[in-house]
Structures are given as C-alpha cells and as structure tokens.
Amino acid sequence: MIKAVVFDAYGTLYDVHSIVRKCEKIYPGKGYQISQVWRQKQLEYSWLRSLMDRYQDFWSLTGDALSYALDELNLQYSKGTIEDILNEYLYLDLYPEVVESLQAFRPWKLSILSNGSPKMLKELAANTNLDKHMDAIISVDSLKTYKPKANVYNLAVENLGVNKNEILFVSSNGWDVAGSKSFGFTVGWINRLNKPVERLGIEPNYIVSNLAELANKVKNK
C-alpha cells in the first residue's frame, strides 16, 4: 500500500543542534542554550506567521529567531555574526543512521517535504550528498505558509503523483507527526528525544527511535 516515503528534514534527517559547535566558538559556554532558544523560536515563528498570514521565507525567519535568541540571552552580535551562524544551516549534520537507512526504504519513492526555503534545502542536500538519494525535495515556499497546515502536506501528493494513503510520512517533530496524520498520511514518529506523544488528539502509526528501526517495522508489517 505504501508507494512513497516523505521525510521531514530539520530534526528528522538533520540535527539542527549541530550548530552548537559554531555557537560555542563565538559564545563559549552558551552554544547549547542558544540552540535551544533558537530552535524553539524558529518553530513558534513559523506557526505564528502562518496564523497571522504574514509569511516570511524560512531563511529570514530562522535568522530572526537567531537574533531573538541572542537578544534574550543578552549576547552581542553584528549582522555578520548572524550570517555566519545562519550559514551553518547549509551544512547541518545528518543523523548517523540516515544514509544507510534510506536504502532500506527503497524501492519506494523517497522525498523531503520541509519548511525550508528552496535554496536552503537545495544547498543543504547538495552539501551533504543527500540529493543523490531523493526523488524530490519539496519546499512549503510555493504556498507561502508552513506546516502543519493541511495544504502543505498536500504538496507531497501533488509532487509525487500518489494518493495520500500511499504515503509514509516520517518526522521526529511531534507536532509535524500530528499534522501529517491529521492530513491523512501513514505516519512514523522518530522519537529521537524520548518524549511523550503530543496530546493533539491524534497518534502516529509507528513510534521508533531511529530511521533504521522504522524501515524494519514497516517492511515486516
């Protein structure tokens, strides 16, 4: 029944907290805290801008979230500092099991559906050689809104030419899991941080700790 697998990018394939290294170089001892506030604000801004109909692309939004984080932590910065740190989003670390696990999901079509802007997704995938493994890299940008709006998930249906009940959607983000399941996908939650299921009235089909485990479970079902 599954014909295509659609992956979230940030947090699922890529470790957004790999930017801690860069932050530590500039602000010793503060890298972890910056990363936590930055990621939280990045998500909040994507939700709030969607609700307010004030879309801004994910690159600028992520830069604004970083500025907020540095302000909140009372850290000094210039425009150059923001650009320098933000640039790390083009070189995030893949989680260690990703490349090998992707093979296990073949022969299904593989793609990414992400909040990232087309340019930042394209560069990140190229810099990490992930582009060679993907049949499509889909950005929300054409709709000028963000996950978990239903029309965003429908972009995968349109791009891949399969029905929504033929798509396995994979995310490590609990709210993305809820949104994609609510839309109608079969959903696997990569619960990398060992968190409770978000109480949003809907639960994933699979709960696993990494991609390899998911491939195994889905194939042996």
Answer yes or no whether residue 67 interacts with a second copy by CB under 8 A.
yes
Answer yes or no whether residue 28 interacts with a second copy by CB under 8 A.
no
Question: What distance lies between CA 143 and its chain's CA centroid?
Answer: 17
Least Cβ distance, residue 211 to a second copy (angstroms): 24
Q: Which of 21, 25, 32, 54 binds a second copy (CB under 8 A)?
A: 54
Least Cβ distance, residue 131 to a second copy (angstroms): 29
3-state SS record for 104-151: HCCCCEEEEEECCCHHHHHHHHHHCCCHHHCCEEEEHHHHCCCCCCHH
Amino acid sitting at position 195: K
Q: Could you give the C-alpha distances from 44 to 19, 54, 104, 165, in angstroms and in order?
A: 19, 13, 34, 29
Answer yes or no whether residue 64 interacts with a second copy by CB under 8 A.
yes
Confirm whether 8 is a catalytic residue.
yes
DSSP secondary structure code for residue 190 in this structure: E
Site string for a second copy, 150-189 (x = CB under 8 A): x------------------------x--xx--x-------
Answer yes or no whether residue 53 interacts with a second copy by CB under 8 A.
yes
For residue 148, is the peptide bond before it cis, meaning its omega torsion is within 30 degrees of 0?
yes
How far is 146 from 151, CA to CA, in rounded Å?
Answer: 9
| CA torsion, ordered 73, 76, 78, 82, to nearest 10 deg | -30
Please, which residue, 1 or 52, has the CB nearer to a second copy? 52
| Residue range at the interface with a second copy (CB under 8 A); choices 28-36, 53-61, 132-140, 154-162 | 53-61
Least Cβ distance, residue 79 to a second copy (angstroms): 14
Sites of contact with a second copy (CB under 8 A): 41, 44-45, 47-54, 56, 64-65, 67-68, 71-72, 148-150, 175, 178-179, 182, 195-196, 198-202
